[in-house]
Structure 1
Amino acid sequence: MAATGGTGTTARTDGSTAAGVLDAALAWLTDHAEWFGPRWDDHFPPRDFAGATVMELLMLCRLLRRSDPAPAGAAGLERAAADLAREAVVETGPGGDAEHLPYRLWTAALLADLGHPARGPLSAARDLAERRPPRPPGAGASPVLALELRHILDLAGIAAPADLPGTAPLYDACVAEHAEGAGEYDAYGVTHAVLYATDFGARPLPGDTARMGRVLDGLLRAYLDEGHLDLVAELLLCARIAGGGPPALERPAWDRLAAAQRPDGSLPGPPFDAAVLAGRTGERATAYVFRTCYHTTLVTAMAAAHAGASARP
């Protein structure tokens, strides 16, 4: 990435800042990979779908595959994520093929896309989805849920049911529903719509790209001012997908993320409280950091990977 101005230590580009953040984040995620799987159950309430958190890790691995060259440690993280995903889905047990079928199918599709064919329960979930595709969400649900399902089916190569609209009209519905909203719920609605509609940046954004760019810029300003690092990271990722935000906005956003990154490489999410952490030691401290930091660390790594941070200046 070309330099954006400045001299000395202030001359670090957005790309070089992101590269440093990415390296440290990947090291932390790799060191804590088992917390996405069985260690979660030792400390936190059970997830509706056992593979939910490791599925997010597989999404990051897909983005890392698109980086050229691949960041150091990406292959090791992918191996760990693939093993954890298979173990998590096995834990759902026999006879549960229809339970959480869209997410089981999503896990299988992510693994297959990474070159790890589905086996056992994951393969059974795909077979069931081919016979009886998951139904779209009912009336009153956010259109983002329908777009998510469309993304899952497209990634898996399974024909969508006739009553599930295509990506473009679903994306338009998401924009109409969430782009003018003022709260966190709508901001995440916007980011998820962009990610699902573009397969996390693999294809162009449908609809009015310039309008979405303005929406993302406004949200990034607002959540950067608020210090909401989780949304800052997601919005940086989406802004790049939409064509890139103003350098005068992206640069301080990356600087804020770099400054907030903890010495261990994790990035604090909205629930993180240093005072709470100070009162914990050992395993309880590790668990607290993981629960409050893992998602923000993961989406920051996604944003850095998409920004081409692995291309060292």
Structure 2
Amino acid sequence: MTPIPSSDRTSASVPVRVGLVGTGYVAKTRAQTFRSDRRSQLVAVTGHTPETTKAFCQEFEASFVPGWPELVARDDLDLIVISTINSDHGAIVRSALERDKNVVVEYPLSLDPEEARECVALAKRRGKLLHVEHLELLGGLHNAIKDSLAAIAPVFYARYSTINPQRPAPDRWTYRHSLFGYPFAGALSRLHRFTDLFGPVASVTARSQFWNADGDRFRSCLCNAQLTFTCGTVGEAVYGKGETFWDSENCFTLYGENGTLIFTPTGGQLLRGDAPQPLEVGSRRGLFARDTQMVLDRLVEGTPLYVSPEASLYTLTVADAARRSAEIGRTVMVEN
């Protein structure tokens, strides 16, 4: 085994020995990437359903592990990758770091901002990699927005709306309060785009509505959060999904003193002057593979990653401020 360069404080072997929690689409994409990259080896997998997990292990020639506690306790793993329900993230991250494993986790880092804060501090103390995936920062849409901001600056108002009709609403964990979390935490990327573009948030005013809540399960949700940034920009995030909606929407509009930007997943427009100027938006394809390769670059070569756990943690605190605002019906100030 070749050691990791001493310039990188994380420690792993080459190939990086990987343990994977989850067997869904994201987990499979990561497994395919690990299999195709000679710098990594998928060693062990655990998942929610034993039969599905065993089939997954057979496909990727990995060992079956009954549960995540047994997985993170293994001595033959350098990296734990967490692609499972949101409510389990914090506990798995903490346990893996306590056992001196490097960690990759899909957002959110935890549903509890305090637990997330403790995990970030623990990773620093142990000198381990903690990477919270934020694919929205790698995608063509976000980078097209960043590249175009100067053309309309200064931006005084931005609105990002994503509405996803699902009829009927699936009986999945993403429609359960306890497993998915408050929607702006569970779907943290909706706010992370804003904090990456405009920086610290001064205050949050939010409203939330849920339909046909049957205990822990809901059929639809609609959440709205108005963010006032310390730079003076006002941002509005709208997130809805489920049976109540009949038409989908995915649009990011930014209003500046020198023009307006309108972006959808397929393209963008700069409105300034007599005719709209079309703006190209790059593809979203292959982003999980790219994120996985960048993690290996970090571990093997010490290459910086595109997002820090502190940045993800900050957005999680903003999401929690939105939750509290919706609960009490008042604006909540954000500590910076």
If the length of structure 1 is used for normalisation, what is the TM-score? 0.26
Using CA pairs under 8 Å that are at least 6 residues apart, name the structure with larger relative contact order, 1 or 2.
1
State which structure, 1 or 2, has the greater radius of gyration over its C-alpha atoms: 2
Structure whose residues are more often helix by fraction: 1
Structure whose residues are more often strand by fraction: 2
If the length of structure 2 is used for normalisation, what is the TM-score? 0.25
